[in-house]
Amino acid sequence: MHPIIRLVNRNITISLNPGFLIWQIIFPLIYIFVAGFAYAPLINEVPFGTKDLDYPAFLASGMIGFNIMNSTLVSGIIIWNDRRHGMFEQIMSGPFTRSHYILSNICTIGIIGLVSASLIALVGYPVFFDSVEFSFITIPIIIFGAITGSVLFGSLASIISTRLRSSEGFNVIINTVFLFFAFVSTAFYPAAGAPEPLRSAFYLNPLTYLVDVIRAGIFGNVTEFVILEMLVLVGIASVLFIIASKLLTKLDF
């Protein structure tokens, strides 16, 4: 078996524990079916492109991007635990290189991101099926978002895990950063209704671009601005991946 496949299998095996699965499934369900319908009487319609979406549909589609980001915490946690428990030295004593280790982490978060996106899309479909406009580009756009978002946020989590040594610092920083990304984005509410400077802050957040791209694919609203957002996602993901790879290559575990 190829070394990268062996490491990916190892990463997925240690990541898919009951706590992680509950977090990935129950948490989005609570937001979609509890918060979505609870706020629906207060938020009648949410404008998105040429459409007016009901709030549960808007939120359910946003949770796809949110869950992709959330699942990529696995990358930082794997690296952190390997550093903390001396697993990296044991891995390197086998037929593995640092390149194998880096690529296996990227493959792992890509797989988990795709599965996470598919899961939430299936769960949320009954909520937004009235507004959905599937076309031949819908599935490719969701796959693009899942892979690009996974690489972007997974690389960011990897960077954070390589720069911090204390478990308290790691947990505080990683949770603070991802909490900021979650709520200062269009995952839960549209940028159009937010006051300045919060509205501008939305577009300094890559999760906004990820969520907008996925919504555009689901609701058939791919515009020039959405294409620009896709290019921004690719650019940020590429830069963060290069930085994460450099840090992991030079890191003294």
pLDDT tens digits along 164-220: 777 777 778 888 888 888 888 888 888 877 788 888 888 889 999 999 999 888 888
Whether the pLDDT of residue 67 is over 70: the answer is yes
Cα torsion 158, 163, 167, 171 to 10°: value is -60
3-class secondary-structure state, position 46 = strand
Q: Which of 132, 128, 113, 142 lies closest to 59 in space, CA to CA?
A: 128
Q: CA–CA separation, 228 vs 241, rounded Å?
A: 20
Helix (H) or strand (E) run with residue 51 in it: strand 51-53
- Say what the pLDDT of residue 4 is: 82
What residue numbers bound the domain in which 118 lies? 3-250
Query: Is the pLDDT score of 253 beyond 70?
Result: no
The reported pLDDT for the residue numbered 239 is 94
Pairwise CA distance, residues 148 & 247, whole Å? 20
pLDDT band at residue 230 under the 50/70/90 scheme: very high
Amino acid 98 reads: R
pLDDT of the residue at 233: 94
Instruction: Map tokens 């507004």 to a residue.
Output: 131
CA atoms within 13 A on the CB side of 240: 21
Model's pTM, two decimal places?
A: 0.86
Q: Which amino acid is it at 177?
A: V
pLDDT digits (tens, 9 = 90+) for 110-158: 888 788 778 777 877 777 767 777 777 888 888 898 889 888 988 888 8
User: What is residue 237's predicted lDDT score, i.e. its pLDDT?
Assistant: 92
**pLDDT for 22 beyond 90:** no
Residue 32, token pair as written in the block: 């979609």
Q: Is 19 helix (H, G, I), strand (E, B) or coil?
A: helix
Phi, psi of 50 (to 5 degrees): -95, 5
How many domains, in total, are found in the chain?
Answer: 1
Residue 1 confidence class, pLDDT cut points 50, 70, 90: low
Can you say whether the dihedral through the CA atoms of 232, 123, 16, 95 is positive or negative? negative
